[in-house]
Structure 1
Amino acid sequence: IWKTQTPIDFSDFIASEKWRRESWRRKFTGDSKMANASPNAGHYAISHWISEGKISHIITQNVDGLHLQSGVPEQQIIELHGNANYASCLDCGKRYELSTIRAAFLIDERLPSCDDCAGIVKTATISFGQAMPVEAMQRAEQATLDCDTFIAIGSSLTVYPAAGFPVLAKQNQAKLIIINNQETDLDPIADLVLHRPIGITLSAAAGIKTD
């Protein structure tokens, strides 16, 4: 998407109504294009392991909420880059559903503001230039330190700070498994590397039949 659109920096979003409107335009245009997204075989395999108690937490950079849709309990999902399925006030944190914001915005491009504190309301994702969420980062670090096996799935492992968690796991004597179609920079330190399709690989490992 960034080949056709310049990303909106968080500081511009805060400072300018123009860029806030543009951000919401992009959001609702993107929503219409991704409305049919649904969990795939990989999501369901992970959900199966969660239900069996074999996985304690999912640390994800995705903002689509598909792990929750696949049946993973919310408290076991750590979303480092937030969630694109709702909005929140940047000052008090109050949650807002997108359907209400969309209905008002599509009438006259009215910008949402918090009805509790009048703060700026933004999709609950982390934008360019925005600080990473402290609580999510702390939870991810603790989950990494507590694990005996860390599985990195479908990631190039080049985006930090998220890419640092597999390294931290290895430093803490955990086993590291990497499943990705292409090679990653962390392949040399992994205990097992599988360059295979994720859905098929995870489904087979979980003993789940796929069509």
Structure 2
Amino acid sequence: MDGISRVAVLTGAGISTDSGIPDYRGPDGVWTRDPALVDAFTYDSFMADPGVRERFWRTYLGHSAWRAEPNAAHRALAALEGTGVAVRILTQNVDGLHQRAGSSARKVLELHGSMHEVVCTGCGQRSPSRQTLDRVAAGDGDPRCPACGGILKPAVVLFGEHLDPGTAGLAERIAAHSEVLLVIGSSLLVEPVASLCAVALNAGHRLVIVNRDPTPYDEPAAEVIREPIGVAVPRLCAALTEAAGSAVRA
């Protein structure tokens, strides 16, 4: 890690499992335990079927992410900001735990949106999720926009939706200009996010992967780390901090 001053960090569901949020495809993942839930998180099904929306909102209301707290990996990445390393976090997660751990909001790019907002698919109005969830808890199974009556949707990218082009383009630029792309807890099976690894590699940068299971990019990676994320990430951040400090002292 010597001489590294610019690091892009791509995080997936695996970084939040230590916070009590299950991943999606692991042995105890959301889709593994209940494959039918995939429909509820698919845009076309969500928009077409009130019953799917009702199931979605019931599941969303009880999601463990609402009660989750940042863990050691989130905190280590936030602390890295205070060193001589320029850190940008590209996250597939919608839980907001990077920001709650202390990472600057302007340094966190939420590729798949945020679960803390709801957007109207009719007029585009955004509002805090809590307002809609309170309505669901009170018995409104398919809440509609109070302004126009349109279908409300969490401000996250559901299956079948495209990433915002501006967000995707910025992520590519960050991956192309960072000396290291550190991937944490991502299966790298979801496009176009997974292709950020190819962007970094094609630019001649190092790819480091911290993940429990194999990924499609393990072979070209400079390093693949299988130890628990809560152990590996603080260790890597400490190494980057030391390297930055050595560079400053030199």
TM range (shorter): 0.7 to 0.9
- How far the C-alpha of 1:43 sits from its partner, in A, is 0.7
TM-score, normalising length from structure 1? 0.86
Residues of 2 paired with 1:79 and 1:48: CA distance?
19
Which of 27, 31, 44 is residue 11 of structure 1 equivalent to? 44
- Name the residue aligned to 1:133: 164
Q: How does 1:26-65 map to 2 (within 5 A)?
A: 26-30=59-63, 33-65=64-96
Residues of 2 paired with 1:140 and 1:48: CA distance?
22
Q: How does 1:126-205 map to 2 (within 5 A)?
A: 126-205=157-236
- Is the partner of 1:207 in helix, strand or coil? helix
Name the CA shift for 1:35/1:183 in 2 (closer, same or farther; >3 Å): same
**Gaps spanning 5+ residues in structure 2: where?**
1-29, 240-250
**Aligned-residue RMSD, C-alpha:** 2.2
Name the CA shift for 1:117/1:14 in 2 (closer, same or farther; >3 Å): same
Report the more deviating stretch, 9-18 or 141-150.
9-18
Q: What are the Cα deviations for residues 132-190 of structure 1, in whole angstroms up to 9, with x where unaligned?
A: 22222122111112212111112222222211101110101112112223333212211
Residues of 1 paired with 2:95 and 2:80: CA distance?
20
- Is the partner of 2:67 in helix, strand or coil? coil
Residues of 2 paired with 1:116 and 1:68: CA distance?
30
**Aligned residues with identical type, % of pairs:** 30
Residues of 1 paired with 2:174 and 2:122: CA distance?
28
Q: Which amino acid aligns with 2:48?
A: A
- How far the C-alpha of 1:51 sits from its partner, in A, is 3.0
Residues of 1 paired with 2:138 and 2:185: CA distance?
39
Paired positions, count = 206
Name the CA shift for 1:192/1:5 in 2 (closer, same or farther; >3 Å): closer
- How far the C-alpha of 1:19 sits from its partner, in A, is 2.2
Residues of 1 paired with 2:124 and 2:205: CA distance?
35
Residues of 1 paired with 2:191 and 2:97: CA distance?
22
TM-score, normalising length from structure 2? 0.74
Q: Which amino acid aligns with 2:34?
A: T
**Gaps spanning 5+ residues in structure 1: where?**
none
- Name the residue aligned to 1:74: 105
Q: Which amino acid aligns with 2:47?
A: I
Residues of 2 paired with 1:187 and 1:124: CA distance?
32
- Is the partner of 1:108 in helix, strand or coil? coil
Q: Which amino acid aligns with 1:49?
A: L
Residues of 2 paired with 1:90 and 1:135: CA distance?
19
Residues of 2 paired with 1:167 and 1:59: CA distance?
15
